Amino acid sequence: MIKPLYIGRQPILDLKKETVAYEILYRAGEQSNEFPIINGTMATNQVLYSLFYSLDFQKILGGKKAFINFTKENLLQEFPVDIAPNHIVIELLENIDIDNEVLDACKTLKNKGYKIALDDFFLKDRSLELLHIADIVKVDWVTTNIEEIEQLTKFLKRYDVSLLAEKIEHEKEYRDAIELGYKYFQGYFFEKPTIIRGEDVSPTKWTYLKLFSLVQRPEIESEELVKIIKHDPALAFKLLNLINSAAFSLPNEVKSVEQAITLIGETEIRRWLSLVLMANLCEDQPEELIIIASTRARFGELIAIKIGQHHVSPTIFLLGILSLIDTMTGRPMDELFKKIKVHPSIIKALVEKSGPLFPFLYLMLAYERANENGLKKCSEYFNLSYEDITKCYLEAAQWANYLRDI
C-alpha cells in the first residue's frame, strides 16, 4: 500500500500577511524507498484520505483551507472521502493536458462550490478556457523574470481571477507583487529578518526578551516565578487563557497562576510562558511566525523524545522557539544573544550552525522546505523512518495551532 512518507504545509498569506490557507506538500511511496517517483494520482488520493479522514485536518490546518495538487485523473474521479468545498482549493498542475473532459470536470466542481487554482500558469493550448473557470492563478516568481511577470500579470487582469505570487523569498519581491496587483503570496519571505541599521529593539520588546531570559534560569523558584508573571497582568491573563484552552483540556477552569503551577508543574509553566512571551514579541509580525516557531519547538522536542534524548528535549524546544527571534525583533541573532542569556548550545546552533543541537535545527528547516536530501540525511542521522518523522511533525503542527487562541 502507498503511504505518505512526508506531509508538510506552506502558508499562503494575504495583503496583511495573515495566513489564509496552506498548500499541502507531500511525497509518497513504498515504505522501503525514500521519496520515489510514483503515480501522482494515487499520492493525492492517499493524502486526501490521510488529511481528511485519518488525521484531524482542522487541527493541522488551523481552520484554514488546503491547496492540494490534482492530476487529470484526480479531477475525473470521485474524491476518496467527502470533502466540503470550504475546506479545499483544487490546484491544477501546470502539466495537465487540457481537453473537454478536464474543462467539464472543472466546471462541475466549480458548480459544487469548490475553488480552482492554476499552478505555475503559462499560456498554452486551451489554457485561456481554464481562465474563465479558475478563481486563483499562481505565478512563479523564481522561474519567470520580472519582464515576463509584468506582461503575464497585465494579461491575467483581463480575467476575473485573484493573483497569487509563488516562491516569494524576499520582502522586495513581496512589495513588487503588491504593486502589480497580487492578492496572495507564498514563500518564505516573511521568515527573513529585516534589519534596519542603527535601530535598536523597542523598549517593550526588550522587556519581553529580559523576561524570557529570566524565566529560563533554573535557580528561579516557583514563588519568584509567580511574582514575575503577576507583574504583567496582560501576560498572566494570556497564560491562563492558554492553559484553559483545548491544549490542556483540564476538567475545571484555572483561575490563578499558583493554581496553574500546581496543576501542570513548574516545567510546563516555564515552557508555555516562553511561548506567550514570544507571541507578545512578534505582535507586529505575521501570526504565522509564532506558529512556525512553536511547530519547530514541539517537533524538535518530539524527535528528541523519540530517540531517547529526553534530557535535552527542553533545550531543543527553546531552540525552536528562538529560531526566528531575529525576524521577531529585527536584530541579528549574535547581537541579541549578547544581551539575553540562553544555553550556549542553542547559540552555537543558531549563530554558528554547528554543535550537538544543530542537527535538530537542520531537521526542522529541512522538513518545512520539503528538502528531500536534507530529510534523507536526518533520517539516517537520527535512525528514524520518514513515517516516524512525519508523525512527529504532524503532532507538532496540531499542537502549535493552539497558539492561535493566545
The mean pLDDT of 110-127, rounded to a whole number, is: 84
pLDDT digits (tens, 9 = 90+) for 146-159: 999 999 999 999 99
d(Cα 61, Cα 51) in Å, to the nearest integer? Answer: 9
Fold agreement (3-191, 203-405): no
Residue 137 has which C-alpha cell?
492563478
Q: Measuring CA to CA, which residue among 323, 229, 230, 342 is closest to residue 282?
A: 323
CA dihedral 97, 99, 105, 108 (to 10 degrees): 140
What is residue 292's predicted lDDT score, i.e. its pLDDT?
A: 94
Residue 120 has which C-alpha cell?
505555475
Percent of the chain with pLDDT over 90: 43
Matching residue, cell 466540503: 84
What is residue 5's predicted lDDT score, i.e. its pLDDT?
A: 62
What is residue 13's predicted lDDT score, i.e. its pLDDT?
A: 95
The mean pLDDT of 308-332, rounded to a whole number, is: 91
Contact 256, 233 (CB under 8 A): no
Q: Measuring CA to CA, which residue among 4, 1, 8 is closest to residue 299?
A: 8
CATH 3.20.20.450 fits 3-191, yes or no: yes
Q: How many CB atoms lie within 10 A of CB 196?
A: 9
Range in 76-90, 188-202, 310-324 with the lowest mean pLDDT: 188-202
pLDDT digits (tens, 9 = 90+) for 36-88: 445 678 778 877 877 777 677 777 888 899 999 998 888 888 775 678 888 89
For the four alpha carbons of 236, 239, 242 and 244, in that order, the dihedral sign comes to: negative
Residue 399 has which C-alpha cell?
499542537
Contact 92, 117 (CB under 8 A): yes
Going by DSSP bridges, is the β-strand pair 65-70/162-166 parallel, antiparallel, or unpaired?
Answer: unpaired
Mean per-residue pLDDT over the chain, rounded: 85
Residue 77 has which C-alpha cell?
474521479
Q: Angle at CA 159, nearest 5°, toward 156 and 162? A: 75
Confidence of residue 199 (pLDDT cuts 50, 70, 90): low
d(Cα 6, Cα 26) in Å, to the nearest integer? Answer: 5
For residue 207, the one-letter residue type is T
Is 288 a residue whose pLDDT tops 80? yes
Instruction: Identify the burial level of 217 via C-beta atoms within 10 angstroms of its C-beta, where 0-12 means exposed, 13-18 middle and 19 or more buried.
Output: exposed
Beta bridge partners of 21: 12, 65
pLDDT digits (tens, 9 = 90+) for 350-376: 999 999 999 999 999 999 988 889 999
| Full DSSP string of 65-111 | EEEEEE-HHHHHS--SS---GGGEEEEE-TTPPP-HHHHHHHHHHHH
Query: 203-405, superfamily in CATH?
Result: Hypothetical protein af1432 (1.10.3210.10)
Contact 297, 318 (CB under 8 A): yes
What is residue 309's predicted lDDT score, i.e. its pLDDT?
A: 96
The H or E element containing residue 300 is helix 288-306
What is residue 125's predicted lDDT score, i.e. its pLDDT?
A: 66
| Domain parsing of the chain, residue ranges | 3-191, 203-405
Contact 165, 182 (CB under 8 A): yes
What are the helix and strand counts (H, E) for the chain? 20, 8
pLDDT digits (tens, 9 = 90+) for 222-279: 787 788 788 878 778 888 887 887 777 788 888 988 888 888 777 778 888 888 888 8
Q: Measuring CA to CA, which residue among 127, 141, 130, 132 is closest to residue 176?
A: 141
pLDDT digits (tens, 9 = 90+) for 7-24: 888 999 999 999 999 998
CB contact burial 281-303 (16+ within 10 A = b; e otherwise): bbeebbbbbbbbbbbbbbbbbbb
Percent of the chain with pLDDT over 70: 90
Is 134 a residue whose pLDDT tops 70? yes
Beta bridge partners of 90: 68, 116
Length, in residues, of the chain: 406
